Amino acid sequence: MENTLAKMKALFLTLLLAGCATQVPVQKEAIPPQQAIVMAADVAPQPVYVTVDLQVRGIGTQNGFTYLNSEKDYRDQRNVSLEIPAEVLAQVEAKFGGPLAAFARGKHLLVKGPTRRVTIWFFDDEGRRSDKYYFQTHLRVSDPAQIQIL
């Protein structure tokens, strides 16, 4: 009986320790945009899942996406752009009770999601891609639950 109990304890301890070894670290606090940029660059082209605390300083739209930017100039290397597809925009606006431009500018947001470094290419006058580019950092919003107003 003692031998069986000892074996069960050893098995339980082994399973417990194995479970601890495979757990993914959980981010405990929100990070500033600059830290998200560094983290995304470190794992590029893969995304990194973060919680970012940012103030919306710029808003733009392009190719069916709405972008909330942490800097006035979206080209600024310190900028993180929240990338919201058109099909999610309506849900976000319903959650917050109106047009995004009316409530978001100047607000501090807490946003969770996949953040990645994106290559932005320059094109010549004929529409051909040049060999010049820069990077932006985008956090994709696919669900309004990812966004909290602080």
Residues 57-68 have pLDDT tens digits of 999 999 999 999
Please check the confidence at residue 4 and state whether its pLDDT lies above 60: no
Q: CB burial class (10 A; 0-12, 13-18, 19+) of residue 75?
A: exposed
In this predicted structure, what is the pLDDT of residue 25?
40
In this predicted structure, what is the pLDDT of residue 16?
46
Please name the residue that has the structure tokens 């929240």: 82
In this predicted structure, what is the pLDDT of residue 127?
93
The CA distances from residue 61 to 9, 65, 67, 92, 142, in Å, are 59, 6, 6, 15, 16
Please check the confidence at residue 128 and state whether its pLDDT lies above 70: yes
- pLDDT digits 0-9 by tens, 16-55: 444 544 443 445 689 999 999 999 999 999 999 999 999 9
Architecture of domain 27-149: Beta Barrel (2.40)
Task: Sketch the domain layout of the chain as residue ranges.
Answer: 27-149
| DSSP secondary structure code for residue 123 in this structure | E
In this predicted structure, what is the pLDDT of residue 100?
85
Mean pLDDT value across residues 110-134:
96
pTM of this prediction? 0.78
